[in-house]
Chain A
Amino acid sequence: MTENGWCGMSILANLLKLITYEENPDREGFVLKETSADQKATGKNEAPSIGKNSPDEQKKAQAGRGSFKKPVRPAGKVTEKPRKIKDSGEAGAVQTGQTAGRVNEKPVVDKLSVSASLAENRDTVGILYGLPENKDIIMRDIVIGTEPVINGFVIFIDGLVDKSVQDLLFQALMLFAARTAPPEKGKLALFVKERLLPGNQITLQSRFRDILDAVNYGDTALFLEGCADALLVETKGWEHRGIDRPTIEQVVRGPQEAFGETLRTNTALIRKLIKNENLTTEFIKVGTRNQVNVAVMYLRDLANPALVAEVKRRIDSVKTDLIIDSGTLEELIEDNPYNLNPTVMATERPDRVAASIIEGRVGIIVDGSPFALIVPTTMYEMLHTGEELYTRWQFGTFIRYLRALAFYLSFLLPGLYLSVVLFHQEMIPTELLLAIAGNRERVPFPSLVEVLLMEISFELIREAGLRIPGVMGTTIGIVGALILGQAAVQANIVSPILVILVAVTGLSSFAIPYYSLAFSLRIYRFFYIAVGAMLGFFGISIGLFAQIILTANLKSFGVPYLAPIGPRTVTGADVVTRLPVFFHEKRPDYLNPLEIARQPDVSRGWLEQKDGGKDN
């Protein structure tokens, strides 16, 4: 065939290729395919015969209809008994089914120990940290200037260590270590620890698990030739936020410090306020992946031991991948996660945690979270702030009663308005009724729609106000004021009285000092709008009964949520009315602390000093 002929064939082939369909194998690009663990979890790769022939499956097949009625746990939750993957009792050691399988694809680090061979240790560390791809893990060979010299290497994470401390460390080892090393290789680590290193906290560890945990937490590990231990030198020094003013729990009078994201700083802030040797800080590691440190703080001679044990038991038993903030831990340890009301107190104020610990409660601080948790807590405490104690008792009491009013208004007001307008007009004075009717005359919507429109708009503005970038912050105020206030009324979409009502409800909601409680009341409000619109005051009474009984049934770490009123215990001087501080003789009875008395009956000793003032 001629060259032209080949050319013609080629053109024809290309034309045919152009007009005919061909599957493009690269069309989907990158596809994240299921791993074997995923397939195992979803049961895709299970051979049908295996499942059906297994005794469990046969039992299921024979079981009656009733067995299938059993509530199914949410997907992904494994109900089989926990399986231990290592002997130690550390948190996170016990894992279940599939999760454990995933975690253990790497070498079982828990069983690895430091070798006497430096090269072997270097290889092990390299594998464990994925070196050299893992760029922020620094492994550095050093030669310690003793006589004879000792070879070694250090490993640390760049960014987590304090470089000035590390410089001192290297100087001490490499420049100023002009001593004679002991001939026994096994004693090298001890020699370096006791004679050469100036660091303030140095430990010897032989298990790689402990070494990795320390390095991940900002320490520097030093491995020496011929030595089956590693030295862990405390060099923590990452970048962090300083101590700021509280942003959510602001007070006019009282301490102006808030927690940060650093655990040790947070514990120190509490210890700064409670200068007592009985203040105990226990660390528990939680999370299989991030192994976050959780500090449990309590007064050893005051907190009920059963309470402390329960707190530790719950935290210790948590098995999850990741805990970034105390909010996640809160949900994992609280008594009634399905109820709207929060049963754990979260605060950003160290003074509040300190005051709670001194009452016999337990503080929980999660590394990386600027909010500490306090358990147990009651709903009345969620309506308190420190300010009542820092100002005069009359002011504190006045604020408390104002807040009690705000509490009820924040969830009841729109529902009550609808009930009155739709069902019980007779109880509105005639003049007011005429005013409301006159305003509503031009509004085309039913009252329920009107209320929902305004409430949803208000919620949107609140949410947008939180999320909007700072530079645009003023916009939200303008938009809110214009839409909710003027424009909606002028457009006859809502009546002016409703604008006032929604504003008062919003203000009441903001007056609730604990954010989670205020949030739950926001949601309750919509229930009351629904029942109020459907059944009037009878609907409101249904809602109140349901809310009260569900709330009365709650417990926070074994303490009734509505104590000391429901159930009635010794009320004390600080529930709603805030009596003067010299009447606060006892700690809350429902906490069952080891010492109930907070101060003697006469705390103002000068009253008993009868000769007081004589010399003047």
Chain B
Amino acid sequence: MVKIIKEGRFGPGEAVVLLGISSMARIFLSYPRLLVDTGGPAVWMMPLGGLAVALAGIYFMSLVLKKSPGSTIIEITEQAFGPFIGMAVNILVTFQILVVTGAVFIREFSEAMLTTTLRYAPISLIDAAFLAMGLLGAYLGVEALARTARLTYLYVLGGLSILIFSLIPFWNFHNMLPFFGKGPKEVFLMGTYSTAGIAEIIIAGVIVQAMGGAKIFAGIGYRAMLMGFGILFLSLTTLVLTYSWPVSEEFTLPFLRLARTIYLGRFFQRPEAIFILIWGIVGAIKIALLLYAAAVSLARSLKLPEYRPLIWPLGLAMFILSLLPLDMPSVIEVDAVYIRSAMLLPDYLLPLLILAVLWFKGRGARAGS
């Protein structure tokens, strides 16, 4: 009998914060600029469609998980597609989605750090630092990660609140016109497509047992999505209110630009360096969670009793993959073109496919009996 992987346990509040913080990590990167590029002055509306789809994704995932309450998405995939195809799908999800996404995030965060503060440091050093944090977090497990998220989220949200309130003097509501920006199609359709692809839905499916099981999965997922998309909404609104959209399109790291704009008298100005603390911690949580989810998924797929031996090889793979793109524009392109689209498959298509297969199987079984 295969020994069950010990994942630890944490409460719903911690799970919400962990997934919420993980999903908000993208606001610190170039991602808001891409959205401004797509939606123009109506960029703040773009996450609304994505939120609706993400909530639906959580609902479908919860339906899948309820089919086998003691299992995770990994085991249910195997139950639905059989041991061989199921394992292949799981390994594909692990490598294509979690490892590649982790690699892209490592590189993007490292590039952001280089741009912001450590201009003369080699990229491999910053990459290695992020990897080290990811390895430590993944090694200590999701319970420790959830507690870390719970301990730091007040500082993170407090920092964001300070940022938003400090920028109020710079707000100009005319920046939000025209109301539908570059057009409803761009804002709602492309906005939904661009914002719905997040790793947290599939990650939640992998760590469901540590979160307390399928029964409370939907509640946790909904709240986490509201938190993540709510922060994205607030950030985009602040961005477009502070700078007009043509100007916002020019920023490589819009969040950094917003922080740099703060001027509350001669003594309190240019506090963007303080936000690096938040930035680094959120990035570390995100990368550690991705690495953990990848290792646990692979261990469950291969029926291994322990996930920890896989952390180092997977981390090394992430590190190597993260160094493959030539420069920052290349990695942003990989993120925008590949990751955002690829993430839709395990988030939405996989649960729907599993539901369909299980339904057909159930129907067949009922017909047989």
Contact = CB atoms under 8 A, between A and B. Distances in A.
A424 B280 CA distance: 15
Contact of A549 (B148, B267, B271): B148
Contacts of A535: 118, 121, 129
Given A424-B273, A538-B276, A545 B148 contact: yes
Given A424-B117, A549-B140, A429 B269 contact: yes
Most buried by A among B117, B132, B150, B271: B117
Interface string A518-535: 000000000000000001
A542 B267 CA distance: 27
Given A537-B273, A565-B150, A553 B281 contact: no
Contacts of A430: 266
Contact of A566 (B147, B270, B279, B284): B147
Interface in B55-99: none
Most buried by A among B140, B145, B147: B147
A540 interface: yes
A546 interface: yes
Given A545-B281, A549-B145, A567 B150 contact: yes
A204 interface: no
A553 B281 CA distance: 16
Contacts of A423: 117-118, 273
B280 A567 contact: no
Contacts of B132: 542
Give chain A's interface residue range (CB within 8 Å of chain B): 20 to 34
A70 to B, nearest CB: 15
Interface stretch (B6-14, B43-51, B202-210, B323-331): B6-14
A427 B270 contact: yes
B147 A562 contact: yes
B144 interface: yes
A260 interface: no
A275 interface: no
Nearest to B271: A427
B14 A568 contact: yes
A374 B279 CA distance: 38
Interface in B143-181: 143-148, 150-152
A526 to B, nearest CB: 19
Contacts of A429: 266-267, 269
A560 interface: yes
Nearest to B119: A423
A128 interface: no
Contacts of A552: 144, 147-148, 151
Interface string A537-558: 1111110111011101100000
Contacts of B271: 427
A565 B11 CA distance: 12
A87 interface: no
Interface in A370-418: none
A80 interface: no
Interface in B111-142: 113, 117-118, 121, 126, 129, 132-133, 136-137, 140-141
Contact of B148 (A426, A427, A536, A548): A548
B306 interface: no
B281 A544 contact: yes
A538 B118 contact: yes
B117 A545 contact: no
A549 B144 contact: yes
Interface in B5-51: 10-11, 13-14
Given A567-B14, A568-B14, A537 B140 contact: no
Given A550-B140, A567-B11, A541 B147 contact: no
Contacts of B280: 537-538, 540-542, 544-545
Given A536-B118, A550-B140, A568 B11 contact: yes
A265 to B, nearest CB: 41
A420 interface: yes
Interface in A253-302: none
B281 A541 contact: yes
A536 B277 CA distance: 10
Contacts of A567: 10-11, 14, 146-147, 150
Contacts of B367: none
A539 B130 CA distance: 10
Contact of B136 (A538, A549, A560): A549
B274 interface: yes
A195 B356 CA distance: 92
Contacts of B151: 548, 552, 562, 565-566
Contacts of A542: 129, 132-133, 280, 284
B272 A427 contact: yes
Interface in B262-310: 266-267, 269-274, 276-281, 284-285
Contact of A541 (B11, B14, B267, B276): B276
Nearest to B272: A427
Interface in B208-256: none
Contact of B117 (A536, A565, A566, A568): A536
A420 B274 CA distance: 10
A552 B280 CA distance: 18
A423 B118 CA distance: 8
B277 A548 contact: no
B137 A549 contact: yes
B136 A546 contact: yes
A549 to B, nearest CB: 5
Contacts of B129: 535, 538-539, 542
Most buried by A among B10, B13, B136, B276: B276
B274 A537 contact: yes
Contacts of A548: 148, 151-152, 281
Nearest to B17: A568
A538 B117 contact: yes
A423 B147 CA distance: 30
A545 B121 CA distance: 21
A419 B116 CA distance: 14
A565 B13 CA distance: 11
B216 to A, nearest CB: 15
A426 B126 CA distance: 22
A550 B284 CA distance: 14
B112 to A, nearest CB: 10
B22 to A, nearest CB: 14
- Give 7 closest A-B pairs by Cβ, nearest first: A541-B280, A424-B273, A552-B147, A566-B147, A537-B276, A553-B144, A566-B151
Interface of A: 419-420, 423-424, 426-427, 429-431, 535-542, 544-546, 548-550, 552-553, 560, 562, 565-568
12 contacts: A420-B273, A426-B270, A427-B269, A431-B266, A536-B117, A538-B280, A544-B281, A545-B148, A545-B285, A552-B144, A567-B150, A568-B13
Given A548-B281, A566-B147, 9 more contacts: A538-B129, A541-B279, A542-B133, A545-B284, A553-B143, A553-B147, A567-B10, A567-B14, A568-B14
